[in-house]
Structure 1
Amino acid sequence: MPDHMHAIWTLPPDDADFADRWRRIKAHVTRQCGERYVQPDRLTSYRANKGHGTLWQHRYWEHLIRDERDMREHLDYLHGNPVKHGYADRVRDWPWSTFRRYVREGVYAEGWGGGEQTVDAKRE
């Protein structure tokens, strides 16, 4: 998404340090982007005083997937998010989605989340 992202990770059993992973990802992407995405008009005094830039949201939200149902609900949410925010008309139209891979694997029907269905509809 242009203004945020979601990720589902399988972490090693002995290392669930979400904070360190997000810190590294954000640092790497920020270095790669350089000055291209700096938005001085969005730099509030709070952000400046805390040393936060404008590329990233200050914090992240983690959720430990509890079971298969929880995983399906989160996949549905992630795949439907570009439609919800108006970036795509149908779930399958968002080019950076894993949705098509899940269709190939038989997890989703091709038309899930598009056409007459809403992103809240149950899979076919």
Structure 2
Amino acid sequence: MCPGYFFLKRQISLWRARARAPFHIDAFVMLPDHLHCMWTLPDGDSDFSFRWNAIKIAFSRRIPAGAYRSVSRIGKRECGIWQRRFWEHTIRDDADYAAHVDYIHFNPVKHGRVAGVADWPYSSFHRAVAMGQYPVDWAGDGVVADVGGDG
């Protein structure tokens, strides 16, 4: 599972990155081995790479000293928890947006972490339920098996 302190550190890292380069988090889910986010950036700004880099740096600085890193990662001043690349997708229309938000929220069920979407605490699903966007018992009806990314 995702220890609560990692979740808190991730949130702090996100807020610090957002102070330098604003963005809105439309949807997110964090699993033990990967995460998914969908953001809206300000008009005319498409620099999501800067934002991911800022998040990674802020988060990595909070990892306890002595955590294992390979010689290659030490030489490149990289923390061992991040993959070097990420997948991005420009949303085409409302249907594409909805499919990606559903995919993000359904991901813990897809990976066998929980039986129901509402059972996973590290997700924007709960915020979406509170806003009336989903029923609390939403079961992923109609979720596309893989809209892309990690799987």
| Shorter-chain TM-score above 0.5 | yes
Cα deviation for residue 53 of structure 1 reads: 3.4
Secondary structure at 2:35 match in 1: coil
The runs of 4+ residues in structure 1 deviating greater than 4 Å are: 45-51
RMSD: 2.1
What is aligned with 1:116?
none
More strand by share: 2
Cα deviation for residue 2 of structure 1 reads: 1.3
Are 1:122 and 2:148 counterparts?
no
Deviations 1:2-42 (A, max 9, x none): 11111111101121101111111001000012337x344xx
What is aligned with 2:34?
4
Are 1:111 and 2:130 counterparts?
no
Secondary structure at 1:76 match in 2: helix
Letter in 2 for 1:29: F
Deviations 1:57-113 (A, max 9, x none): 111111111111111100111011111112222100111111122223222222112
Which entry has the higher C-alpha Rg, 1 or 2?
1
Q: Which runs of 5+ in 2 are unaligned?
A: 1-30, 144-151
Cα deviation for residue 47 of structure 1 reads: 4.9
Do the aligned residues in 1 keep the contact of 2:60 with 2:79 (CA within 8 Å)? Answer: no
Letter in 2 for 1:25: I
What is aligned with 2:83?
57
Q: Which runs of 5+ in 1 are unaligned?
A: 114-118
Taking only the aligned residue pairs, the percentage that are identical comes to: 43
